[in-house]
Amino acid sequence: MRARLEERRQANALRDVLPPTPLIDFSSNDYLGLARGGELAARVAERLYGLSMVGAAQAGVLRGGAEAGLHAQARAGAEAHLHAQARAGAEAHLHAQARTGDEAGLHAQARAGAGASRLLGGNFPLLEELEAHAAAFHHSEAGLFFTSGYAAQSGLISTVAARGDILLYDALVHASAHEGMRLSPAARYPFAHNQVADLTAVGESAVQRAAQKGAAELTGASAPSGTPAPQVFVLVESIYSMDGDLAPLAEIAAACSQRGWHLLVDEAHAGGLAGPHGEGLVVELGLEAQVFARLITYGKAFGAAGGMVLGSALLRQYLINYCRAFIYSTGPLVAQVVTVQEAYRLVTAADAARRHLRALRRALVDGLAPCWHLPGAPPERDSPSAIVPLYCPGNEAVLRLSARLASAGYDVKPVRAPSVPVGQERLRCCLHADQPEPDGLLGVLGGGVKAPPFKLQ
C-alpha cells in the first residue's frame, strides 16, 4: 500500500479528504445551492420533527392504549407537528391514517432507518411515494430508489446486460458505469466521445461479430439451443461530469431506435438543471419514449443524496428481482427520503435560479473566450450545464493554477490524471445559482496564467 501511495505522491496525484474551505465555491456539484442554502435543511428538520412526533405518539398508543397515546400526543406537541405536516403537504396521508386509526401505517412512517433490505421489511410508504413522484416528474412509468447514484448505475447496468449482450459506451462515461460494466458478463466496446457515427460503426461491427460467433456455436456440438439474440445497451451521460458538454442525445436516441438498441442515459449533472423545471435533458428534448432507462442522482443539483433509476414498470420489477445492489443492501434512511422529497419541491420552483445559472455560464464562457487556446471548440455558451472545464495540461501545472486561485479566494478543484487522461488535466469549474458573476475569477485567470491554454492577453 505504501509503495502504491508513494507512486501517487510522486505523480502529484495523491488524493485526500480535506476540511471545508471558506473559499468561494467553484467546485461542488451543489449547482442550485440547495445543499448549503439552509432552506432545504430547515424543511427537512420540520418534516422529521413531524414524523418523530408521530412516532412518539404512536409509541404511546401501542404501549398504553388510545388514551395514553393521546396524552403522549398532547405532551409531544402533536398540534405543532400536524401544522408542520399540513404545510409540507406531502404528509396528508398521515392525517388520513390518524383519522382511520391505521396504526401500522403511522408506525411505518415513524422509523429512522429502514431496518433491512426493502425486500425484508425495509420498505415504507414515503419511499414508494417518492418513487411515484419522481416517475411522474420525469415523465417515466416507474422509478426505483437507491442510496447512491453509484449503486443505482452500477446495479442497473450489471443487472440488465447479460452474457452474450453488448455494451457500447461513450469513452467519457462515469466510473459508476464502468463498475456496472465490470460486473456484467456482457462484451463491452467504447466509442469516441459524442461521436454518433463511431457509436453506430462500433456497434454494428460488434453485433456482426456476435452473430458470427453465434452461428459458429450453433454448428458446434455444445451449442445451446434457443439462445436469445444479443441485446445492445448504449451508455451515455446527458451532461458529462468532467467536460460539462452535452451529448447529441436526439441523434443518439434516433440511432438506437432505428437499430433496436437500448439507450441508458445518466442524467446526474442534468437533473435539476435541464428541462422546463429541472426534469433533465431527456424531457427537455422530448425523448422519454426512446430511452430505455435514465439515472437521476440527488447529490448534485438536488442538494441531497441517492439515485433513481427511471424506466418501465417491467424494468423496475426486474431490478427488484435481480439487482444485487438493490436486493442485498439496507433501504434508505427516512431522512434521506424526506430530503429528496423536499429537494424536489425546491428544484421544481427554481426556474429563476436556473435562468441565473445560465447567465453565469454565458458570462464565464464569454470571459474565457480570449484565452481559449485549445484545439477543440470552446465550451458551449448557452447550455444548462453548470460545468466549464479550464484545461491546464500536467498534474503539477493544474495543481499550481488551483493553488493560485485558492490564494485569491476561489475554490476551483484540479482534476488530475488518472481521473482524466494524461494531457487532459483541467480545473473543473462549477457554477452555482447562489453566486454573483464570475468576474473576480476571470480577473485572476486572465491576469497572469502564462502556461497554455491560458495566455496573457
Ligand X SMILES: Cc1ncc(COP(=O)(O)O)c(C=O)c1O
Residues that bind ligand X (CB under 6 A): 148-150, 153, 174, 176, 237, 241, 266, 268-269, 297, 299, 307
Tell me the residue ranges of DSSP E strands in 318-446: 387-391, 410-411, 413-415, 426-430
Q: Taking the complex as a whole, how short is the minimal distance between the CB of residue 152 and ligand X, in angstroms?
A: 7
Q: By C-beta, is 27 or 176 nearer to ligand X?
A: 176
Q: By C-beta, is 60 or 299 nearer to ligand X?
A: 299
Q: By C-beta, is 56 or 340 nearer to ligand X?
A: 340
Q: By C-beta, is 142 or 157 nearer to ligand X?
A: 157
Tell me the residue ranges of DSSP E strands in 110-165: 142-146
Q: By C-beta, is 264 or 405 nearer to ligand X?
A: 264
* φ, ψ for residue 322, nearest 5 deg: -125, -10
In angstroms, how far is CA 294 from the centroid of its own chain?
10
Q: Taking the complex as a whole, how short is the minimal distance between the CB of residue 419 and ligand X, in angstroms?
A: 11
Beta bridge partners of 14: none
Q: Taking the complex as a whole, how short is the minimal distance between the CB of residue 423 and ligand X, in angstroms?
A: 21
**CA end-to-end span of the chain:** 45
Q: By C-beta, is 91 or 243 nearer to ligand X?
A: 243
The amino acid at 320: I
Q: How far apart are CA 380 and CA 386, in angstroms?
A: 11
Q: Exposed, middle or buried: residue 435 (CB in 10 Å: 0-12, 13-18, 19+)?
A: middle
Q: Taking the complex as a whole, how short is the minimal distance between the CB of residue 29 and ligand X, in angstroms?
A: 7
Q: By C-beta, is 25 or 266 nearer to ligand X?
A: 266
Q: Taking the complex as a whole, how short is the minimal distance between the CB of residue 297 and ligand X, in angstroms?
A: 4
Q: Taking the complex as a whole, how short is the minimal distance between the CB of residue 182 and ligand X, in angstroms?
A: 15
Q: Taking the complex as a whole, how short is the minimal distance between the CB of residue 213 and ligand X, in angstroms?
A: 32
Q: By C-beta, is 262 or 269 nearer to ligand X?
A: 269
Q: How far apart are CA 358 and CA 29, in angstroms?
A: 15
The residues, any chain, with a CB within 8 Å of residue 21's CB and separated by 6 or more, are 406, 411
Q: How far apart are CA 449 and CA 392, in angstroms?
A: 10
* φ, ψ for residue 446, nearest 5 deg: -75, -15
In angstroms, how far is CA 132 from the centroid of its own chain?
18
Ranked by CB distance to ligand X, the top (closest) residue is 149
Q: How far apart are CA 339 and CA 68, in angstroms?
A: 31
Query: Could you tell me the CA-to-CA distances from 3 to 14, 17, 77, 127, 419 in Å, in that order?
Result: 12, 20, 59, 45, 19
Q: Taking the complex as a whole, how short is the minimal distance between the CB of residue 114 and ligand X, in angstroms?
A: 18
Q: At what angle do helices 439-446 and 395-407 cross, to 10 degrees?
A: 130
